[in-house]
Each structure stands twice: as structure tokens, then as C-alpha cells.
Structure 1
Amino acid sequence: MFPLFLLATAASAATTTDLAYVAANFENAGLGSVFPSFAPEAVLDASFGSSKVAIGQPVTQDTAGTRPELTVDAGDAFDASGNYSLLLVDANIVGWADSQNLHWLTNGVTLSGNGTSTPDYTAATDIRSYAGPGPAAGSGAHRYVLLMYRQPAQFTAPEGFSATIEDVIPFKVGDYATAAGLDLVAANYFTVENGVASVSVAQTTSVDPATLSVASSSASSSAAASSGAASSGSAAASGSQSQSASKSAASGSPSAPASTNTSGTGKTVPSLFALVAGAVLALF
């Protein structure tokens, strides 16, 4: 069975294209200004119940009301050892970068499994237990971002974040990560909208995986190239809005959710021939 084991392990690993696809979608959704140096080391998959959420997919407020099940598909350079912090932040509408709202923060998470891992919360500490999305009615599609940060060996929670937080609070994730010495290694996002937007919306579009060119470059440089090619239409929506416009948008100006379909994109799936060949080899 050894050859089949190798095939199964290869199938679970995130490819360079997978990682570039995540980075390109973040740029395309206007999240590049919130996470300007994000170079994914793994793919963070999320499921609400039996439904896996593709990156950028719109979900209902009720669907996202309970903490999602997460899996981590590791890239070649990913080290699953150590402790991690998991967060959910409301990054608001496209163009908003001033601050976020904190919906979930847990520290001391470990990963269990090889290739594809799952978070182990046994020794973790909830600072802000998971609170589902609650965008204001008519404010448009909010981007809810799931984040996985690697903690330093000598992790110390920043001031104000060592005890339980009961409310959803304004939060600057970049400042928090810098103060705690965290390294962003994986992320995902989905959108939630409450009712119909009352004003015009900034559109986002999904990234076409065919535009990604990663054969001879690293994931981060490929993501930068592909996001420039795939998201030129969204640059105006995410970068040309002034902060004053963004602030007014936060209370009533929406953005439309990205319509992204990532099912199976870039994943290494063994062919039927390979599986049969592996089984035959296992007999000898």
C-alpha cells in the first residue's frame, strides 16, 4: 500500500498555483490594503456544516452563525509545528482599510495531521469566542476574513487581549499582528450581506485561474503578477476610493460579493490510472 500512501499525500498538498490563487483573490477583493504583505504558505479551507465555502463566496448570516470547520492544505514550505492564532474579522466593504471588527480570536491552536491538517483547540485559549457576522441592513456585502497566524516561540498577547472579550469590537488586525509578532500564513474570506444595498456598490470579480503563471516563480511573486492581470477591473474599486468615502461607506455604502468558484482549482488529484498502478505496485 506504500505507493497509494504517496499518492494520497501528494493529493492533499497545496500547489504553488493554489497559493497564488488565494493571494490574487485577496488583491482582487480589495484586501491587499489590509494585508499588504500576505504570501500564503497554506490553503485555509472552511466549511459551514456540510457546505465548503469557496474563497469569496457569499453566504447567509444564518449559515455563518456558528464557527466553521477548518482544514489546512500545506504548501511545500509550510511547517505545521508550533502554535497558531485563528481570527475572524469583518473587513467591511471594498475600499475600507481603516480598521476591522473582531468576531473571533483564539490563541495556542495546534495542527493535527500531515499534508491536510485540522486545528486542535485542546490547549487553545479563546479571547473572543466565535461571533457570527452581523452587517448593518443595507450596508452592502461585507468581507469576513478567516486568518491563521503563526505565533512566535515566546508569544505574549498584546495589552488588552489577554483576557476574555465579550463584545464584537473595533480592531486593527495589522497592529495586533505586529504587536504580537505574528506571521500570516493562511487565510480565506467569504461575504455576507444583510438585505439589499441602499446605494450603488463597488463590484468585485473572481480571479480566473488560467491567468495565473507560476511555473517558474514563487507563490508570492506569481500572486503579484496574476493579481495585476486578473484584477485590473477591481483596482479602482479597492484602491481609488478615498478614506473619507470609505468611512461613509462603512455605515451605508456597500460592495457586491465576489462570485468565486474555486471547486477543485489547482489541486493535485491522482488519476484512475495512477491509483491502479499504485495498487499493482503495492502487491510486489
Structure 2
Amino acid sequence: MASGQLSRAEALACTACMHACHVMLYSDTKTQLFGKFPIRHIILMQMRFDGLLGFPGGLVNPSKETLEAGLSRELLEELGVALPVSVEDHVGSCHAPDSSSSSSSSSSSSSSRLITHFYVKKMEEEQIREVERAAASTATDHGHEVLGMVRVPLYTLRGGKGLGSFLSHAFIGNARSQLVDSLLRLNLVAPEELHKALTSSLTTHTHSAGDLKSALALTVANVPWVHVAAPAPDVSNLTPRQYRWQRGSEHETRRCLMSSDGYCAAKTHNHAGD
């Protein structure tokens, strides 16, 4: 058993843990993009309420329901269809990454141990299309916890676009690893093609970092910043993680954006009358 993986029995034995079940729904297809690029398979994921990509599913309570019953309940809420999921569809269980969160509930403790259970279910293409239609028209969570269903592009276009670009997006918890593992295990994408896609994703991340810095510079330019030190800082190399607060007099607080050269631009907030 791979490191970090749990058997179903081991996972369920952890009664003090929270449990979350998610499923990858997929089908084969003969359709082509632009009548030229074979799509080969349809894999459904979703854009979550937190802006991250993930698979359909959510928290379940093994003391009140089976894992599969809980997953089907979550699918009804998120997809608008009560899809049956069986034990045979179960792929694996593991402890979720520390930063993972699978629920919007504010009552969930961030320190709680979460075990994720992953399932894969193959369907007919028309069934997949029915799920997509229901998710946008009848699902109670549409527009709230789920912002929309997305298909995973398994093809690679010129410049590494397609699968490579998709994999460069932000995923919740271990969803990206679950996707990559499933692509390899089910032979949905050739290993060498997947390797190229992931390599392209790393390049995309580098370019995205530059774009984010430029976007951050635009926001700084439109805020009445107070220069605390001269010369003026080069705000183009600032990142959100470099925010910090500086305490000035008892009537003001300076919020500083620290640049790599040690200078900062600060927005002064006057506390008079607070």
C-alpha cells in the first residue's frame, strides 16, 4: 500500500476523524474538437465555491450512513442526480493534506483530521450529458457551493495548451494527484503525454506568477499609498504573502507591502474616533 494510503477498514476505524467522499465520473467519447482533435474521454470536475477545482462529493458521516450512501446524497445536492455509487467504485482512502477543506461549514474545526475517500465511476456518454444538464438546471448547490461543472481537456494543442493548461490551475487538497493517478491507472492518457503536459504546467505557473505581479502593481497604483521610505519601492516584485502590518503612532496603523529591496509602500489608517 502506498505511503499515506489507508485501507477502507483502517479509515473507518478512525471514529474521531472527519470523512469526505468524492468521485470522478467519466465516459468514453468519439467526438472531436474542431473535428480534428480526438477528445477520447469525458471527465467531470467542478469549480468550487472557494475558486478551486475539485471532484463532486463532500462530507459524510459513517456513523449514520455508509460512505457510498453519503456520497450519493452529496451528488444529488451538487449534480441534481442521485447516482448510485458502489463499494466496487472505491479506489482508495488517505489522510487529506493539512490545508485541505472539503466543506463550507464554519463549524468544522480546521484542526480536525480529515480522511478522503476517492471513487471512480464509468458511465455512458449520454449519462454524463444528463448529469451536466441536471447540474446546471436542478441541482440545489448550483451557483452556491458549486459554481459549475467543467470537463478535463485530455488533448494537447500547440504550445502545450489543453491538458497542460488545465493542470496548472489551483485544485483543492489532493484532487490534482487523484486526477493524474486516475489518468495513468485507467490508461486515459499516455504516460509520456501526461509528462509533457505537467512540464508545460510548470512553465505556465512561471508565466502566471509574472502576470499576478503585474496585476498586483495595478492595484497598488490605484490606492493612495503613503511612501514610508525613499526611493519609491518597485511594487512589481511584490506578492500577497509579503503583506505585513506596522504600528505607527497610537492613532495610525501602516499596512506595508514589503519589496525585495527592503522598501515598503504603506497605506495609513487613522484610528481617531475609533
TM-score bracket relative to the smaller structure: under 0.3
Bigger Rg over Cα: 2
TM-score (norm 1): 0.22
TM-score (norm 2): 0.22
Q: Which has a greater percent of helix?
A: 2
